[in-house]
Amino acid sequence: MSDFLYIYRMTPAAEKPSPEVMQQRMQKWMKWMNSLSEKGHLKERGHPLEQPGKVVRGSQKTVTDGPFAETKDVVGGFSIIAAKDLAEAAELAKGCPVLEGGGNVEVRQIMHMNV
């Protein structure tokens, strides 16, 4: 088994959802996370990330608002998953509730370095 990072990206909603809708979304997330955990794939639930952020770039160490993969996308959080390979990790990501709202899950293998 290898470790993979799920990076959850979403487009910010034009308006804030009702408490009932937020509760339904949270229940879907918990169901999906619990399913991954029960099957031995969830290594770290991760955490949601606050929206404001900064990016430091280049040798000039320029600081700008961000992080934004694209101007319309917001990184919402991350998790660490165990899977046999990238194909399995991507298949597991297909159950992520962020996809229902037009978001996406970036799946990246974690490179372990012996230092």
Conformational region of residue 69, where left means phi above 0, alpha means psi within -120 to 50, and beta covers everything else: alpha
Domains identified in the chain and CATH numbers: 2-13+20-109 (3.30.70.1060)
Least confident range of 6-10, 44-48, 50-54, 111-115: 50-54
Please tell me the predicted confidence (pLDDT) of residue 82.
97
Q: Are 25 and 85 in contact (CB under 8 A)?
A: no
pTM of the model: 0.82
pLDDT digits (tens, 9 = 90+) for 68-96: 555 567 788 999 999 999 999 999 999 99
